[in-house]
Structure 1
Amino acid sequence: MRGAQASSRQEASGGLWDSVKKAVIVIGSGILFLAAFGNSLTWHLQKFWGASGNFWQNLWTKLYVMFEGHNEALFYMGTMLVPMVVFWAFNALLLLADTTGKPSFITRYRIQADKNDPVDPEKLRHALKTVLFNQMFISAPTVVAAYHLTRWRGDPCGPQLPTLHWALAELTIFSILEEVLFYYSHRLFHHPTLYKRFHKQHHEWTAPIGVVATYAHPLEHLFSNLLPVVIGPVLLGSHVSSTCMWYCLALVSTTISHCGYHLPFLPSPEFHDFHHLRFNQCFGVFGVLDRLHGTDIKFRQTKQYERHTLLLGLTPLTESIPDTPTKSH
Structure 2
Amino acid sequence: MASYLGFHNTTLPHDLSGSSSLYSSVNFDDLNWAEQKWAEWYMFIGNPVLATGIMSFVMHEIVYFGRCLPLVIIDRIPYFNRWKLQPGKVPTAREQWECTKLVLLSHFTVELPQIWGFHPMAEYFGMSTHSVPFPALTTIAWQVAIFFVFEDTFHYFAHRWLHTPMMYKHIHKLHHKFSAPFGLAAEYAHPVEVLILGTGTIGGPLLFAILSQTIWPQVSLHIVTVYIWIIFRLFQAVEAHSGYDFPWGTRHWLPFWSGAEHHDFHHMAFVNNFSTSFRWWDHWLGTDLKYQAYRKRIEASKASERAKIEAAENLTIEASGLAAERALLARSGESKPKNVRVGEVVAPDGHESAPTNLLKVNAESKKSR
The TM-score, its normalising length taken from structure 1, stands at: 0.73
2:122 alignment counterpart: 150
Q: Check 1:61–1:223 CA distance in 2 against 1; reply closer, same or farther (3 A cut).
A: same
1:176 alignment counterpart: 149
Distance in 2 separating the partners of 1:269 and 1:319? 24
| TM-superposed deviation, 1:266 | 1.9
Equivalent of 1:257, from 203, 216, 240? 240
Q: Does residue 1:80 correspond to 2:57, yes or no? A: yes
For structure 1, the 5+ residue unaligned runs are: 1-45, 308-317
CA deviation vs aligned residue, 1:199-229 (integer Å, no higher than 9, x gap): 11111100000000000111011102x1111
Q: Could you say what secondary structure the match of 2:289 adopts?
A: coil
Distance in 1 separating the partners of 2:297 and 2:50? 44
CA deviation vs aligned residue, 1:117-142 (integer Å, no higher than 9, x gap): xx233333221111111111111111
Equivalent of 1:276, from 267, 275, 292? 267
AA paired with 1:65? E
Point out the structure with the larger helix share: 1
Q: Check 1:66–1:146 CA distance in 2 against 1; reply closer, same or farther (3 A cut).
A: closer
- Sequence identity of aligned pairs in percent? 24
1:89 alignment counterpart: 66
Kept in 2, the 8 Å contact 1:75–1:147? The answer is yes
1:290 alignment counterpart: 282
Q: Check 1:79–1:125 CA distance in 2 against 1; reply closer, same or farther (3 A cut).
A: same
Larger Cα-atom Rg: 2
Q: Check 1:109–1:70 CA distance in 2 against 1; reply closer, same or farther (3 A cut).
A: same
Distance in 2 separating the partners of 1:306 and 1:54? 53
| TM-superposed deviation, 1:62 | 2.9
Q: Could you say what secondary structure the match of 1:148 adopts?
A: helix
Equivalent of 1:110, from 78, 81, 84? 84
Q: Does residue 1:128 correspond to 2:104, yes or no? A: no
Q: Which moved more, 1:281-290 or 1:155-164?
A: 155-164
Q: Check 1:321–1:228 CA distance in 2 against 1; reply closer, same or farther (3 A cut).
A: farther
Matches within 5 A, 1:120-269: 120-154=92-126, 155-224=128-197, 226-237=198-209, 238-267=221-250, 268-269=259-260
| TM-superposed deviation, 1:53 | 7.3
AA paired with 1:113? P
Equivalent of 1:67, from 42, 65, 69? 42
Q: Could you say what secondary structure the match of 1:322 adopts?
A: helix
| TM-superposed deviation, 1:79 | 2.4
For structure 2, the 5+ residue unaligned runs are: 10-30, 210-220, 251-258, 314-364
Distance in 2 separating the partners of 1:80 and 1:320? 48
Distance in 2 separating the partners of 1:51 and 1:220? 35
Distance in 2 separating the partners of 1:243 and 1:305? 41
Kept in 2, the 8 Å contact 1:150–1:235? The answer is no
Q: Check 1:305–1:243 CA distance in 2 against 1; reply closer, same or farther (3 A cut).
A: farther
Work out the number of aligned pairs and report it. Answer: 266
Kept in 2, the 8 Å contact 1:303–1:321? The answer is no
Kept in 2, the 8 Å contact 1:78–1:241? The answer is no
Q: Check 1:246–1:320 CA distance in 2 against 1; reply closer, same or farther (3 A cut).
A: farther
Distance in 2 separating the partners of 1:277 and 1:254? 17
Distance in 2 separating the partners of 1:85 and 1:200? 27
Q: Check 1:73–1:320 CA distance in 2 against 1; reply closer, same or farther (3 A cut).
A: farther
| TM-superposed deviation, 1:64 | 0.5
Q: Which moved more, 1:232-241 or 1:257-266?
A: 232-241
AA paired with 2:149? I
Q: Check 1:320–1:75 CA distance in 2 against 1; reply closer, same or farther (3 A cut).
A: farther
Q: Could you say what secondary structure the match of 1:91 adopts?
A: helix
Q: Which moved more, 1:180-189 or 1:319-328?
A: 319-328
Q: Does residue 1:322 correspond to 2:300, yes or no? A: no
Q: Which has the higher contact order (CA 8 A, sep 6+)?
A: 1
Q: Could you say what secondary structure the match of 1:324 adopts?
A: helix
The TM-score, its normalising length taken from structure 2, stands at: 0.65
AA paired with 1:280? V
Q: Check 1:140–1:123 CA distance in 2 against 1; reply closer, same or farther (3 A cut).
A: same
Kept in 2, the 8 Å contact 1:282–1:295? The answer is yes
Distance in 1 separating the partners of 2:270 and 2:163? 8
AA paired with 2:307? P
Kept in 2, the 8 Å contact 1:274–1:282? The answer is yes
CA deviation vs aligned residue, 1:148-177 (integer Å, no higher than 9, x gap): 211012222212201222211210110111
